[in-house]
């Protein structure tokens, strides 16, 4: 089945610490992929706000996204967003960041937690107990973050599995987290939040959506109305990677429309 209106709602430019390319160059790559819309969602890690100089980088990202919008007007929709990491580490600061610019879209996520820090730097090899302990804390944090609610789309729900299973090869029985996952999805649906279908696993040759197709379907069954699809690209060549498969997963879960945000208001557009 042909999928139309391809959009990539999770892109990082070189205004993110781990981004490689400028907004304009990323837009050029997006045009080659014939995307209808892109959202620049550069990082702002609330627990490292001062140390990471995120006040400057998010302002620059916002400015450059608007330059991209003007440059590609009439050819592609360019949106100015933000990925807000660990907002509950300082909710007042997180709220200040959200209000600092007139963003189109706020993704919210958790990349690390005390006492462990950033999950990327952890070694889970041969340690299923550590994996389960971290996931317990992680999903509790996600639930509280959804309760906090000052965002538009819940990013990469199963983010720690990128490193636990995908990189370090630790198998986790996810059935033990079924209840908390149910409550997260129920709460997100009830609050009108979008669930992101994140395709970053494709960069590592793993053809899995985050979250799984089963959880996307469950979100729909619980009343979820909005889904976004994003590659989580940090370089131009990764833009749109896996996006069509993400659209397919949304369609098979019962969604007939995908969502982008303009001025933090949801806009739905057909998948097929």
CB 192 within 8 A of CB 148: no
Residue 90 predicted with pLDDT over 90: yes
Residue 1 lies in a domain: no
Can you give the CATH number for the domain in which 181 is found?
Answer: 3.20.20.140
Which domain covers residue 93, as residue numbers?
Answer: 7-270
Cα–Cα dist 146/101, whole Å: 22
Bridge-based pairing state of the strands 117-118 and 112-113: antiparallel
What's the confidence (pLDDT) of residue 1? 66
Residue 242 lies in a domain: yes
Q: How many domains does the chain have?
A: 1
- Contacts by residues 46-51 (CB-CB < 8 Å, ≥ 24 positions apart): 46/84, 46/85, 46/86, 46/87, 46/89, 46/90, 46/93, 46/94, 46/97, 47/85, 47/86, 47/89, 47/90, 47/112, 49/90, 49/93, 49/97
Q: For 112-149, what is each residue's pLDDT tens digit?
A: 999 999 999 999 999 999 999 999 999 999 999 999 99
pLDDT confidence bin for 186, thresholds 50/70/90: very high
Average pLDDT over residues 224-242: 98
Residue 23 lies in a domain: yes
Residue 74 lies in a domain: yes
Average pLDDT over residues 23-38: 97
What mean pLDDT is reported for the chain? 97
Proportion of the chain above pLDDT 70, given as a percent: 100
Tell me whether residue 51 is exposed, middle or buried, using C-beta atoms within 10 angstroms of its C-beta: 0 to 12, 13 to 18, 19 or more: exposed
Cα–Cα dist 132/127, whole Å: 9
Q: How far is CA 223 from CA 195, 216, 255, in A?
A: 12, 11, 11
- As given in the structure block, the two tokens for residue 175 are 């059935």
Residue 20 lies in a domain: yes
What's the confidence (pLDDT) of residue 2? 72
Cα–Cα dist 101/59, whole Å: 8
Residue 3 predicted with pLDDT over 90: no
Residue 17 lies in a domain: yes
pLDDT confidence bin for 206, thresholds 50/70/90: confident
Residue 226 lies in a domain: yes
Q: For 142-159, what is each residue's pLDDT tens digit?
A: 999 999 999 999 999 999
Average pLDDT over residues 223-246: 97
Q: For 162-185, what is each residue's pLDDT tens digit?
A: 999 999 999 999 999 999 999 999
Residue 2 lies in a domain: no
Cα–Cα dist 206/209, whole Å: 9
Computed over its alpha carbons, how large is the radius of gyration of the chain?
17
């Amino acid at each position: 089945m042909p999928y139309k209106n391809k959009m990539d709602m999770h892109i990082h430019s070189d205004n993110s610490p781990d981004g490689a390319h400028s907004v304009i160059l990323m837009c050029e790559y997006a045009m080659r992929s014939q995307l209808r819309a892109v959202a620049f969602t550069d990082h702002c890690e609330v627990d490292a706000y001062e140390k990471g100089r995120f006040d400057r980088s998010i302002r620059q990202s916002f400015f450059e996204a608007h330059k991209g919008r003007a440059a590609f007007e009439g050819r592609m929709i360019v949106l100015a967003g933000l990925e807000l990491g660990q907002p509950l580490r300082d909710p007042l600061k997180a709220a200040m960041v959200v209000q600092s610019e007139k963003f189109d879209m706020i993704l919210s996520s958790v990349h690390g937690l005390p006492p462990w820090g950033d999950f990327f730097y952890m070694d889970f090899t041969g340690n299923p107990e550590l994996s389960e302990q971290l996931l317990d804390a992680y999903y509790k944090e996600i639930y509280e973050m959804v309760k906090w609610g000052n965002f538009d789309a819940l990013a990469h729900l199963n983010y720690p599995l990128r490193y636990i299973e995908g990189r370090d090869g630790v198998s986790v029985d996810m059935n033990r987290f079924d209840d908390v996952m149910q409550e997260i999805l129920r709460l997100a649906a009830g609050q009108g939040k979008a669930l992101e279908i994140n395709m970053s696993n494709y960069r590592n040759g793993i053809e899995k959506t985050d979250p799984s197709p089963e959880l996307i379907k469950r979100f729909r069954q619980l009343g979820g109305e909005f889904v976004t699809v994003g590659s989580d690209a940090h370089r131009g060549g990764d833009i749109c990677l896996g996006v069509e498969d993400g659209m397919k997963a949304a369609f098979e879960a019962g969604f007939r429309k995908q969502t982008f945000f303009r001025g933090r208001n949801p806009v739905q557009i057909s998948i097929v």
